[in-house]
């Protein structure tokens, strides 16, 4: 078992996922099985391999370059539509739960 | 119905000659959907009214003698992870079940400009994660060729809709095989373009270094027409670029074909292997040069693909927080902010999506990053090198698209690892960013077998040329 229930709970917390008790057990079993299979990658010697994040330019034999566009205001016609999608709002603002805990002043 | 056998070019001619109107054509497909989709379940949403009104506009243009594009009045379907303004876009997830797209994807904008008719949105595995379309939160799509079987996935709805004559063509998205594998299992043509060939703007993000939008169609020519329309640089997707076609093949004699030994080893259905090999013998006898090649890192592609794609997915899907849009537990006053995130996501995502988020979060987490994510990226570089070396010797590479034909609904869904292995022949190309097309090559026990044609970067023109030469031989 690569991932025990404690580890599942820890990852779920990092991932901001609520899991039911029975989901936690099953998730641990499934992830362990999957990761065990994935461990075949460890058979390869990759010490001298450079990671290539620049897929596109390499394929076109072009040097890596920044792609930017001007920071200008363009007229959108979908502001209202986007606002309609917000689950909770107040006076035109997105409503969020309080970030700071009022009682002890910490997160 | 006769129109079901016509190509886009033939339909275009009939529209211009006024042998059929766009409204009539649209209604043929809407009535086909009405008649059979209760058995297939390819569609999540059908635009009965707006499809007809779009078609009326095209008819008006044609009757006024206005020049219309080749795709004007051609009815099509969109995978429900591609945004069409004003319509729901669910990605087959409960978390987006009420999400209305506030803008058009770039490929949709191009199709609208060309005058295609949007018939509806098709089913998929939730967030395009899966190989059978059984992971949809809403319905299970059936393979039109055998209703007890899956259509493949994740673009299972798009493939089934084309196969069942519910549209002329469709768009899907492919991250590790999600266009090619369902195309193979349903018996349609399906292209995963080179990474960067088609804008991803307006595609619900799954794994951003792999995702591509591409066409599914009944024949090679139709797929090429659609690809040529949707491709090209888009300033809204900085990874997209323009590509030019070069000199392509004029006959089978011009094509040097690579046959990778690693794709014909244990695990492959013997019938599939025989069918692909027999076909390759046939084209060899007609003049193509066939060269045995080796892609030695093929067996690492599945772990490599799932680690990279799940890591990217865990980051991409963090946007579903219940605050900005989508299903939300914000209304529950007693929940603090962390619990709001936890509940919204815990209830909104299905099992497979949760599994991938967990896998990706683990692979990126402190202490495991080097062992899993970084290592997978290095292996990805090795997989790319395999292809680069092979393409020094050959023009295209031929493989089976899937190691097996369509499997039974329920057969693999409980065992995620066996489902992951369905992408064993499609994931390597995705890791290398290369284009690949699946075309129907024949049938085993009434179930289609797909031939995968892998090409050089941005040489979809060569793939299509080879495919159309192969298609003639297969259909003879």
CA distances to B49, B69, B156, B158, B174 from B151, in Å: 28, 31, 5, 9, 15
Q: Which of residues 74-103 of B touch A (CB under 8 A)?
A: 85, 99-100, 102-103
pLDDT at position A88 over 90: yes
Subunit contact B324:A85, Cβ cutoff 8 A: yes
Which residues in chain A are contacts of B318 at CB distance < 8 A? 16
List the catalytic residue out of B14, B21, B79, B456.
B79
Shortest Cα distance, chain A CAs vs residue B124, angstroms? 23
Check if B288 is active-site.
no
Query: Residues B279-322: pLDDT tens digits?
Result: 999 999 999 999 999 999 999 999 999 999 999 999 999 999 99
End-to-end CA distance of chain B: 22
- Give the whole-angstrom CA distance, residue A16 versus residue B321: 9
What CATH number is attached to the domain comprising B353? Answer: 3.90.1300.10
Whether B16 contacts chain A with CB within 8 A: no
pLDDT at position B36 over 50: yes
**A85 near B98, Cβ under 8 Å?**
no
Subunit contact A55:B343, Cβ cutoff 8 A: no
- Nearest 5 degrees, angle CA B79-CA B82-CA B84? 110
**B169-174 and B75-79 beta bridge pairing:** parallel
Query: Residues B124-171: pLDDT tens digits?
Result: 999 999 999 999 999 999 999 999 999 999 999 999 999 999 999 999
- Give the whole-angstrom CA distance, residue B44 versus residue B386: 40
Query: Residues B22-32: pLDDT tens digits?
Result: 999 999 999 99
Check if B154 is active-site.
yes
Phi and psi torsions of B431, nearest 5°? -60, -30
Q: What is the mean pLDDT of residues B201-230?
A: 98
Smallest Cβ–Cβ distance between B361 and the set A15, A19, A88 belongs to A15
Q: Which of A46-60, A65-79, B348-362 ranks highest by mean pLDDT?
A: B348-362
What count of other Cβ atoms lies within 10 Å of the Cβ of residue B225?
23
User: What element of type H or E holds B185?
Assistant: helix B180-186
Subunit contact A96:B362, Cβ cutoff 8 A: no
HSE on the CB side for B252, CA within 13 Å?
18
In the block, which residue shows the tokens 């946007």? B319
Looking at the structure of chain B, the number of domains it has is 1
Give residue B31's domain range. Answer: 1-476
Subunit contact B374:A51, Cβ cutoff 8 A: yes
Query: Residues B371-415: pLDDT tens digits?
Result: 999 999 999 999 999 999 999 999 999 999 999 999 999 999 889
pTM of the predicted model as reported, rounded to 2 decimal places: 0.96
Nearest residue to B47 (alpha-carbon basis) of B166, B143, B225: B166
Q: What is the mean pLDDT of residues A79-83?
A: 90
Pair of tokens at residue B104: 């058009």
Average pLDDT, chain A: 85
- Give the whole-angstrom CA distance, residue B321 versus residue B349: 11
- Give the whole-angstrom CA distance, residue B55 versus residue B59: 6
**B436-444 and B396-400 beta bridge pairing:** unpaired
Q: Which long-range contacts (CB under 8 A, 24 or more apart) does B143-148 make?
A: B143/B185, B143/B186, B143/B406, B143/B447, B144/B40, B144/B186, B145/B186, B145/B187, B145/B406, B145/B446, B145/B447, B145/B448, B146/B406, B146/B446, B146/B447, B147/B39, B147/B40, B148/B408, B148/B409
Subunit contact B379:A86, Cβ cutoff 8 A: no
Whether B380 contacts chain A with CB within 8 A: yes
Q: What is the mean pLDDT of residues A48-74?
A: 72
User: Exposed, middle or buried by CB within 10 Å (0-12, 13-18, 19+), for B66?
Assistant: exposed
- Nearest 5 degrees, angle CA B408-CA B413-CA B417? 115
Query: If DSSP codes are grouped into helix, strand and coil, which group holds residue B400?
Result: strand
pLDDT given for residue A1 in this prediction: 64
pLDDT given for residue A62 in this prediction: 59
Nearest residue to B151 (alpha-carbon basis) of B464, B407, B446, B428: B407
pLDDT at position A54 over 70: no
pLDDT at position A55 over 70: no
Peptide bond into B154 cis (omega under 30): yes
Band of residue B86 on the pLDDT scale cut at 50, 70, 90: very high
Query: Residues B253-277: pLDDT tens digits?
Result: 999 999 999 999 878 999 999 999 9
Q: Which long-range contacts (CB under 8 A, 24 or more apart) does B233-240 make?
A: B233/B199, B234/B106, B234/B199, B234/B201, B235/A69, B236/B106, B236/B199, B236/B201, B237/B106, B237/B199, B237/B200, B237/B201, B238/A67, B239/A56, B239/B195, B239/B196, B239/B200, B240/B196, B240/B197, B240/B198, B240/B199, B240/B200
Which residues in chain A are contacts of B430 at CB distance < 8 A? none
pLDDT given for residue A57 in this prediction: 54
Average pLDDT, chain B: 96
Shortest Cα distance, chain B CAs vs residue A106, angstroms? 13
Which of the two residues, A47 and B40, has the higher pLDDT score? B40
Which residues in chain A are contacts of B304 at CB distance < 8 A? 41
Phi and psi torsions of B447, nearest 5°? -115, 130
- Give the whole-angstrom CA distance, residue B345 versus residue B322: 8
pLDDT at position A107 over 50: no
- CB proximity list for B346: less than 8 A, separation 6 or greater: A17, A18, A19, B354
Check if B79 is active-site.
yes
Q: Which long-range contacts (CB under 8 A, 24 or more apart) does B141-145 make?
A: B141/B40, B141/B41, B141/B42, B142/B39, B142/B40, B142/B41, B142/B409, B143/B185, B143/B186, B143/B406, B143/B447, B144/B40, B144/B186, B145/B186, B145/B187, B145/B406, B145/B446, B145/B447, B145/B448
Query: If DSSP codes are grouped into helix, strand and coil, which group holds residue B190?
Result: strand
DSSP B284-305: HHTT-EEEEE--TTGGGHHHHH
Q: What is the mean pLDDT of residues A33-61?
A: 80
Alpha carbon B102 to chain centroid distance? 23
pLDDT at position B88 over 80: yes
Q: What is the mean pLDDT of residues B55-84?
A: 97
- Give the whole-angstrom CA distance, residue B160 versus residue B275: 23
Band of residue A50 on the pLDDT scale cut at 50, 70, 90: confident
- Give the whole-angstrom CA distance, residue B252 versus residue B77: 33
Q: What is the mean pLDDT of residues B427-448?
A: 97
b/e map B238-259, b = 16+ CB within 10 Å: bbbbebeeeeebeebebbebbb
């Amino acid at each position: 078992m690569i991932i025990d229930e404690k580890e599942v709970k820890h990852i779920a917390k990092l991932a901001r996922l609520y899991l039911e008790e029975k989901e936690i057990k099953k998730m641990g079993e499934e992830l362990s099985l999957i990761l065990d299979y994935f461990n075949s990658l460890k058979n390869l010697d990759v010490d001298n391999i450079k990671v290539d994040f620049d897929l596109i330019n390499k394929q076109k034999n072009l040097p890596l370059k920044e792609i930017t566009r001007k920071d200008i205001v363009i007229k959108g016609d979908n502001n209202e539509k986007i606002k309609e999608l917000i689950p909770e709002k107040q006076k035109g603002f997105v409503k969020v739960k309080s970030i700071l805990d009022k009682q002890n002043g910490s997160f | 119905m006769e129109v079901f056998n016509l190509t886009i070019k033939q339909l275009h001619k009939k529209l211009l000659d006024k042998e059929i109107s766009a409204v009539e054509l649209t209604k043929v497909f809407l009535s086909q959907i009405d008649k059979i989709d209760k058995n297939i379940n390819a569609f999540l949403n059908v635009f009965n009214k707006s499809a007809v009104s779009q078609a009326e506009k095209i008819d008006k243009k044609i009757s006024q003698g206005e020049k219309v594009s080749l795709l004007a009045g051609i009815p099509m379907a969109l995978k429900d992870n591609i945004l069409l303004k004003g319509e729901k876009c669910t990605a087959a997830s409960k978390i987006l079940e009420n999400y209305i797209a506030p803008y058009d994807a770039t490929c949709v904008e191009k199709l609208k400009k060309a005058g295609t008719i949007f018939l509806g949105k098709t089913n998929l595995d939730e967030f395009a994660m899966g190989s059978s379309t059984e992971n949809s939160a809403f319905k299970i799509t059936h393979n039109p060729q055998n209703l007890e079987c899956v259509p493949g996935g994740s673009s299972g709805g798009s493939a089934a809709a084309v196969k069942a004559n519910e549209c002329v063509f469709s768009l899907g998205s492919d991250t590790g095989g999600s266009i090619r594998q369902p195309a193979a299992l349903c018996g349609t043509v399906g292209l995963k373009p080179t990474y960067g060939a088609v804008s991803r703007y307006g595609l619900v993000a799954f794994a951003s270094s792999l995702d591509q939008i591409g066409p599914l169609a009944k024949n090679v020519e139709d797929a090429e027409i659609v690809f040529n329309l949707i491709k090209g640089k888009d300033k809204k997707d900085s990874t997209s670029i323009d590509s030019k076609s070069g000199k392509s093949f004029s006959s089978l004699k011009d094509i040097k074909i690579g046959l990778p030994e690693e794709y014909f080893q244990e695990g492959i259905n013997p019938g599939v292997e025989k069918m692909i090999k027999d076909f390759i013998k046939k084209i060899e006898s007609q003049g193509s040069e066939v060269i045995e090649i080796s892609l030695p890192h093929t067996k690492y592609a599945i772990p490599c693909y799932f680690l990279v794609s799940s890591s990217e997915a865990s980051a991409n899907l963090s946007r579903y927080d219940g605050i900005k849009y989508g299903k939300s537990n914000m209304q529950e006053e007693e929940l603090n902010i962390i619990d709001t995130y936890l509940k919204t996501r815990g209830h909104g995502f299905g099992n497979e999506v949760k599994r991938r988020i967990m896998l990706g979060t683990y692979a990126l987490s402190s202490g495991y990053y080097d062992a899993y994510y970084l290592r997978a990226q290095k292996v990805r570089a090795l997989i790319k090198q395999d292809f680069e070396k092979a393409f020094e010797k050959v023009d295209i590479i031929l493989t089976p698209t899937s190691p097996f034909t369509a499997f039974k609904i329920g057969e693999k869904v409980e065992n995620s690892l066996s489902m992951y292995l369905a992408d064993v022949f499609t994931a390597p190309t995705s890791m290398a960013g290369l284009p690949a097309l699946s075309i129907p090559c024949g049938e085993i026990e009434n179930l289609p077998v797909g031939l995968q044609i892998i090409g050089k970067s941005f040489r979809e023109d060569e793939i299509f040329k080879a495919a159309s030469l192969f298609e003639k031989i297969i259909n003879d």
